[in-house]
Chains A and B, each alone.
Chain A
Amino acid sequence: AQSVTQLGSHVSVSEGALVLLRCNYSSSVPPYLFWYVQYPNQGLQLLLKYTSAATLVKGINGFEAEFKKSETSFHLTKPSAHMSDAAEYFCAVSRGGGADGLTFGKGTHLIIQP
């Protein structure tokens, strides 16, 4: 069985400050890990994914995440927050293989203070 825990349902940062959204996973097999962003009344958009290649993954809009097997973590970071980053962020895990539906965390709402 797989699970994802996102620490902090709401995270508030100032514009220009570092963004850090935390994600810990549990998986019985080597996982595939994803970060998705959801803007109001829209579907989910992929930010980045880890599929057992490089442990530091770069995504769109300046986001990146580092896979740390020893800590079972896949935290999302961005050096400098922009007002347009305000959205809901979801971490997800998949076991790969044929049945690879995603198991999502509960999400973190990112608030950017001017």
Chain B
Amino acid sequence: EAGVAQSPRYKIIEKRQSVAFWCNPISGHATLYWYQQILGQGPKLLIQFQNNGVVDDSQLPKDRFSAERLKGVDSTLKIQPAKLEDSAVYLCASSLESGGATQYFGPGTRLTVL
């Protein structure tokens, strides 16, 4: 069974530029999550989708971050404009359903903002 796929693996941009990350969850997984992991910290939830609807985006900085999950499968996370403090690893995870089911994580995208 293929795991969660993410691209790109690495991205370097200048501050105030925009960037987008892509995630393809495990086939059949209805729930998709985006987490931000700053160096030396645990991951922090940004947004949770159930199919193509948003369940929780309470910690998403909506002035600069946006996310969508078209057709309930792939998802894109965008940052516009980026700030220095956005440098982090962005992790995508998926689970078969919500309610405590195991979340499977992708390898992440490491973003460096200069």
Contact = CB atoms under 8 A, between A and B. Distances in A.
Interface of A: 4, 32, 36, 41-46, 49, 51, 90, 92, 94, 96-107
Given A99-B48, A101-B48, A107-B41, A94 B100 contact: yes
Nearest to B33: A101
Given A43-B91, A104-B43, A107-B42, A99 B55 contact: yes
Nearest to A103: B45
B42 A51 contact: no
B58 to A, nearest CB: 9
5 contacts: A43-B91, A96-B99, A98-B55, A102-B103, A106-B41
B4 A102 contact: no
Given A43-B91, A43-B108, A99-B56, A106 B102 contact: no
B72 interface: no
Interface of B: 4, 31, 33, 35, 40-45, 48, 50, 55-56, 91, 93, 98-108
A43 B50 contact: no
Nearest to A32: B100
A97 B106 contact: no
Contacts of B31: 100
Contact of B50 (A46, A98, A103, A106): A98
A32 B102 CA distance: 10
Contacts of A44: 43, 91, 93, 105
Given A43-B107, A100-B101, 5 more contacts: A4-B42, A96-B99, A96-B100, A100-B99, A106-B40
Contact of B99 (A41, A42, A49, A97): A97
